[in-house]
Amino acid sequence: MGGTFELFHDGRVSFRFRLKAAGGRVVAVSEQFPDKASAVEGIRMVRECAGTGLITDLCPQTPCEAVTEQNPRPAAGAA
């Protein structure tokens, strides 16, 4: 089973939704929406865009040597 969207009232005057992974972990929480219909439209937009969204990498560039030193590969045949 894929993730699920949970639509909820945030205790104030706004509506939000959260996306949960199949295991139940929250992976995203929406902004506030003024009404339920707007929140449902937000879910529709996420469903439409998520599968085709581009990735923008804003992380600082890390040299390959530094990555290799931090996460050395196991020797061939090691278990």
Residue 30 clears pLDDT 60, i.e. is over it: yes
DSSP state at residue 37:
H
Look up the pTM and report it.
Answer: 0.67
- Alpha helix positions (H), the chain: 36-50, 64-70
Question: With 0-12 CB in 10 A as exposed, 13-18 as middle and 19+ as buried, what is 3?
Answer: middle
Q: Residue 6 sits in which domain range?
A: 1-48
Q: Categorize the per-residue pLDDT at 10 as very low, low, confident or very high, splitting at 50, 70 and 90.
A: confident
* Number of domains observed in the structure of the chain: 1
- For residue 75, what are its two tokens? 């020797």
Within-domain flag for 8: yes
How far is residue 6's CA from residue 41's CA, in Å, rounded to a whole number?
A: 13
Within-domain flag for 41: yes
- For residue 44, what are its two tokens? 């529709």
Residue 77 clears pLDDT 70, i.e. is over it: no
Within-domain flag for 29: yes
Within-domain flag for 64: no
How far is residue 31's CA from residue 16's CA, in Å, rounded to a whole number?
A: 6
Here the CATH number for the domain that contains residue 21 is: 3.30.160.160
